[in-house]
Structure 1
Amino acid sequence: MGVDLRQVVAGILTLTMFVMLGNMIKRDHFDSVEEKFPGEARDVQFDNGNVEQGLVTLAKKSNGPWLEDSQELKSCWTDSSFEVVEESRGYVTFSLTNGPEYHVSQIADAVVVAKYIGATLVLPDIRGSKPGDERNFVDIYDVEKFIKNLDGVIKVARKLPDKISIRNLAVVKVPNRVTEEYIKENIEPIFRSKGNIRLATYFPSVNMRKATQKNVDSVACLAMFGSLELQTDVNEVVDLMVERIRSLSRKSDGQFIAVDLRVDILEKKGCHGSSATGAKSCFSPQEIALFLRKLGFDKDTTIYLTQSRWDSSLDVLKDIFPKTYTKESIMPADKKVKFLESENSEFEKVIDFYLCALSDVFVPAISGLFYANIAGKRIASGKTEILVPAEIPGTSAPLTKFISPYIMKKNHLAYSCFC
C-alpha cells in the first residue's frame, strides 16, 4: 500500500506544533518597547515590572480561562470643576490623523489648548494615511453630541468663518498630553500675536501612564473619555458585527477575543526584533495562537482579528482556533460597499478600535497607541480583560501574570479620570 504524502506532511506539522507548545520559553512582555510614530515621534516606552496578583477574579469554564468584568467606573470630574467659558478670543483649528487611536489624543490636546487660551475650537477634518484620503468629522463622529458634551467647557464652531483663510493660520506644534506650562510658553504668545492658530500634534512617546498630580485635569479627562461618540451609521455597523460574533460564540456563552493583529505591520522590518530591554514589540499569528492555547482557551473560542481581509499567514491561527474571523466575514453584506470596499481606510480603523473596546478579552499583538487607548476605553467601561502576549515558561503560569500592567498596576491615565 502506497504512502499518502499529504498525510505524512500533516503528521509532521502536527508534531512540530506540539513540540513548540511544550518548549515555549521566557516571557517577553512588550510593555516596554521601541516603535516609531509618524512625524517627530520618538521611541515608545511602556511600563514594565512585576505584576501584582489577586486583582482579577477568574471565571473558570470548561472552554477557557475567561475573566469576569470588573465594576464600571465613574468619572472623577464634574461639571462644577470647569471654569466659566469666556468670550472667544480667536479660533483653533486642527486635523485628526493616523486613525482613531490618535484621534482620542489629538482631540484631548486641542480641547485643552482651546480652553487655556480662551479660543473657539473648529471641528476638525479627518485625514487618512493615503493622499486624498479625507473625510469630514460628521462622517465618523457624532457632531451634535461632541458639541453638547463640551458645552460649558469651550465654544465649538462647525467651520472657520469665511473671512479667515486657513492658509494664513500660524501652525503650532503640540506634544501629546500638552501641559499648561508648554501652552503658556510656546502656544499662547503666538495666539495672542496671530489671533488664530492651527495645531499639529506630535507624539514624542506613547505616554498613557497615570497622571502624577493629585488634582484631576477635568478638561483633559472629559475631552479624552467623554467627548467622542460614533455617528449613527458607524455605530450601527459596529453593533451588528458584535452581535454576529456573539452569535457565533454560543459554546463560549457569546464571549469572544479581539486581537489587534495586522499583517502589514507584522511584515515591517524590526517588528519582531527585541528592544534594548529585551521585550518584543509584536507577535505573529502562530505566537498568538500558541499563547492563547497555552492559557487554556479551547478550539471553540471565537477570535476577531483587526486584519481586514484574510491572509495566508493567518492560517496557522485558524488551524488551532477555527472560529477566527476578519471584517470581511463578519460585516453584513449590505454594509461592505461603504465600510469595507471603499478607498477610505478610516472606517475600517474606527470599526476595529470600537470593536476591540467592546470585546470580552482584548489581546494587543502589536504594541503602541492603539493598545494604550483601547486600554483606556476598557478601563472606563469595566472591561479590564487585556492579555499581553508572551511566551509562557512551563505549564502552570497563572493567567493573571499576563494581564496588562495598565490594569494590574492601575498606572493608566484612565485611572486619573475614573474612580
Structure 2
Amino acid sequence: MLLDPLSIFCLLLNSDTLGSSIHSGDSLHGWALISLTFYALCRCKNGGLITDAVVAARILNATLIIPKLDQKSFWKDASDFAEIFDVDWFISSLSKDVKIIKQLPRKGGKVIGTPYTMRVPRKCAPTCYETRVLPVLLKKHIVQLTKFDYRLSNKLEIDLQKLRCRVNYHALRFTDRIQEMGDRLIQRMKAKSKHFIALHLRFEPDMLAFSGCYYGGGEKERTELGAMRKRWKTLHTSNPDKERRHGKCPLTPEEVGLMLRALGFGKDVHIYVASGEVYGGEETLAPLKALFPNFHSKETLASKEELAPFATFSSRMAALDFIVCDGSDVFVTNNNGNMAKMLAGRRRYFGHRRTIRPNAKKLYSVFLNRTSMTWEVFASKVRTCQKGFMGEPNEVRPGRGEFHENPSTCICENSKEESATTSHFQPKIGIENGKPNSTRSIHKDNISSDEDSDWRYFDYGENIPLGSSLNGTDQEYNLFIGSEVPDLQEMFSD
C-alpha cells in the first residue's frame, strides 16, 4: 500500500444551538470554522480517520466540509475526494447525523478567514474536544487541527460508536467507476477459481525504510533504505534486529508464502496480490510465486486500456485492491497496518469472513531457525504461533483492539453458535435509513478500551483453538486448503 495522504476536513460550527453536552442552554452569535488537517486513509477506503472527523463534527455540533486531499504528498496523487468517493451519497446518508457541505464558505469570491493551527492529543475524548477545541474555535473562528491521526478516543458512547459504523460501512462508498472495475476484477478471480485468497503485501521501499527493519539485502539495501530513512529524524538510528524480535517487521513475500503453505493452503490456490512497487521487484516475488504459481494482480487481470483511468492515480489503484481484498474468501496480510485493521473490522461487521494476520513477534524465531528443522516441525510451529490470529469470529477479546478493527458495539450476536457459522456474505446487523435496526440487540459489552493499542502487543486470545478451517469443521474453507505438501520439503531446505 501507500503512504497516507495529507487531507483537510473543515467544520463550520452551527450557530443556532449546541448539543446538550456542550454548554447546554447557551446560544452562539456569528460562526466559527474548524479545519482538521490529518493523514487520512482513503487510499484503501478504510474510512477510519474520515469516520472520526464526522464524529468530531457531531461532538462539536459542527457542519463538516468534505475533505480536500493534499496533492503534493509523497505519491503526488491529483485525486480529490469526489474522484474516489460518492460525495452526494456521503452527504445524504449522514444528513440526520451531521450537516455536510461540499466547499468552504466564501464571501466576495474568497474563502473567509485564516485558520488558527493547533493539535489535540491522541485519543482525545469528547470532553477533551469540548474543553480544548471548542473554546479556541469560538475565539479564533477558524481552527486547523494538525496531524489528525487517531485524535479521537477509541472508547465512546454507544451512539457515537454507531455513528462510526454508519460512516465507515454505509456512508463511504466508492464512485461507480471504481466500484464497477473492482467488481469486474472479483468476477475474473471467481472465474479462475470458486474460492481465492487476497494478499495485501506491503513491501514498498518507503514502507521498508519507515519500518526500520533489515531484510537481508546486504550493503545495497542498507544504503538505499538508510538514505530514505533520513526523511524521518529518528528511524536511521533504529536497531533492525530489535525491531524484528518485537514483531515490528512485515513478513517478506517468501515468509508470508511459507506461512500460508504451513497453514495448509495448497499450491493450486489462486491468490490475488494487492501491492504497490515491491522492493527488489521480481527477484523478491519469485519465492512467493513458486509457492503459489496461480498469482494474480489487477495488472494481470485487466488490460492497460481498462486500467488507464486509474493507473496514474495511486489512490484509485489502491481502491481497486481494497474492493478485491474485501470480496475475497480469505484475506491475508503480511503486516498489521491500517488497511489490515480496517478490512478485518469490515469483514467482521458484514458477517464473518476470514482475515489472517501474522503473529510476527512469535513467527520471528520460527523463520530465523527454519533451516534447522523439517517442514513438518516448521509447519507445526507456524500453526501454533498463529493461534488467535486466524480471523475467528470471537478472536479479539472484549475491550481489545481499535474500534475500526473490532466494531463489536455495532455487531449483533444472537448466540456464539450463530456467530461461528455465519455465511461469508450475510450481514449480522440490520440497517434501516442508515441506522441500526432496533429489532436486533446491540452487543454493548465490547467497547474497545482507550489504552495504547499497538497491534504488535495485543493479546488476541492465543489459547483458543487454531480455527475451524484447519480442523475440518468449515467446509467452505476446506474446499481450498490442501493437507499434502510433498513439494515443500525440497524448497524449504534451500
Aligned residue among 342, 346, 354 for 1:373: 342
Query: Which of the numbers 318, 323, 327 marks the counterpart of 1:354?
Result: 323
Question: 1-side partners of 2:145 and 2:55: how far apart?
Answer: 12
- Deviations along 1:303-362, whole A, 9 cap, x unmatched? 11122467211011111111112221123443221212x1x2111222222322222111
For residues 363 and 131 of structure 1, what CA distance do their matches in structure 2 show?
A: 25
CA contact (8 A) 2:355 2:391 kept: yes
Partner of 2:345: helix, strand, or coil? helix
Once residues 276 and 406 of structure 1 are traced to their aligned partners in structure 2, the CA distance between those partners, rounded to angstroms, is: 28
2:332 to 338, 344, 363: 363
Report the Cα distance in structure 2 between the residues aligned to 1:355 and 1:301, rounded to whole angstroms: 16
Q: Work out which structure has the larger RCO, using CA pairs closer than 8 Å and 6 or more positions apart in sequence.
A: 1
Give the aligned partner of residue 309 of structure 2.
338
Using the TM superposition, give the Cα deviation of residue 204 of structure 1 relative to its aligned residue in structure 2, in angstroms: 6.2
1:403 equivalent in alignment to 2:390 = yes
- Cα deviation, residue 376, structure 1: 1.4
Aligned residue number for residue 173 of structure 1: 119
Candidates 166, 185, 197, aligned match of 1:256? 197
Structure 2 CA distance, aligned partners of 1:345 and 1:236?
A: 17
1:192 to 128, 138, 150: 138
1:219 and 2:156 correspond: no
> Do structure 1's residue 161 and structure 2's residue 105 form an aligned pair?
yes
What are the Cα deviations for residues 351-374 of structure 1, in whole angstroms up to 9, with x where unaligned? 222322222111120222121112
Distance (Å, rounded) in 1 between the aligned partners of 2:76 and 2:341: 28
**What is the TM-score normalised by the length of structure 2?**
0.59
Contact 2:46 2:339 in 1 (8 A): no
Q: CA deviation at 1:121?
A: 0.7
Say if 2:68 is the partner of 1:125.
yes
- For residue 198 of structure 1, report the CA deviation from its aligned partner: 3.4
* Counterpart in the other structure of 1:302: 270
* SS in structure 1 of the partner of residue 354 of structure 2: coil
Secondary structure of residue in 2 paired with 1:122: strand
1:203 paired residue among 149, 160, 164: 149
Identical residues among aligned pairs (%): 23
Is the deviation greater in 216-225 or in 232-241? 216-225
Tell me the matched-pair count.
334
The aligned counterpart of 1:110 is 53
Counterpart code for 2:334: A
Shift of 1:406: 8.7
* Distance of 2:37 and 2:89 partners within structure 1: 19
For residue 325 of structure 1, what is the aligned residue in structure 2?
296
Q: Does 1:283 align with 2:251?
A: yes
Q: Normalising to structure 1: TM-score of the pair? A: 0.69
Question: Gapped runs of 5+ residues in structure 2?
Answer: 7-18, 21-26, 215-239, 367-376, 413-494
Judged with a 3 Å threshold, the aligned counterparts in structure 2 of structure 1 residues 113 and 257 are, in CA distance, closer, same or farther, namely closer
Q: Provide closer, same or farther for how the CA distance between residues 243 and 181 of structure 1 changes in structure 2, counting only shifts above 3 A.
A: same
How far is the alpha carbon of 1:94 from its aligned partner? 4.1
Q: Is the 8 A contact 2:119 2:147 kept in 1?
A: yes
Is contact 1:364-1:389 (8 Å) kept? yes
Q: Where does residue 128 of structure 2 map in the other structure?
A: 182
**Pairing 1:315–2:286 present:** yes
- Which of residues 377, 394, 410 in structure 2 aligns to 1:417? 410
Q: Which amino acid in the other structure matches residue 417 of structure 1?
A: C
Q: Deviations over 1:42-63 (max 9, x none)?
A: xxxxxxxxxxxxxxxxxxxxxx
3-state SS of 1:261 partner: coil
Q: 1:161 to 1:182 in 2, by over 3 A?
A: same
Shift of 1:382: 1.8
How far apart, CA to CA, are the structure 2 residues paired with 1:367 and 1:178? 23
**Is it true that 1:148 corresponds to 2:89 in the alignment?**
no
Question: Which shifted more, 263-272 or 372-381?
Answer: 263-272
Deviations 1:195-218 (Å, cap 9, x if unpaired)?
A: 23334343369x997x48677633
Closer/same/farther in 2, CA of residues 107 and 99 from structure 1, 3 Å limit: closer
Q: Secondary structure at the match of 2:198?
A: strand
Judge conservation of contact 1:114–1:121 (CA < 8 Å) in 2: yes
Report the CA distance between 1:255 and its aligned residue: 2.8
Distance in 2 of aligned mates of 1:103 and 1:362: 15
Among 246, 270, 292, the residue aligned to 2:212:
270
Q: Which consecutive residues of structure 1, in runs of 5 or more, have no partner in the other structure?
A: 1-35, 40-81
2:34·2:141 contact (CA, 8 Å) conserved in 1?
Answer: no
Q: Could you tell me which residue of structure 2 aligns to residue 385 of structure 1? A: 354
Which deviates more, 379-388 or 94-103? 94-103
> For 1:82-124, what per-residue CA distance to the aligned partner results, in whole angstroms no more than 9, with x for missing partners?
99xx999444444674542586222122212221222211111
After superposition, residues 85-100 of structure 1 pair within 5 angstroms as: 89-94=31-36, 97=39, 99-100=41-42
Aligned equivalents of 2:292, 2:97: Cα separation in 1: 48
| Closer/same/farther in 2, CA of residues 136 and 214 from structure 1, 3 Å limit | closer
Give a deviation string over 1:160-180, Cα, whole Å, max 9, x none.
122263660223424565420
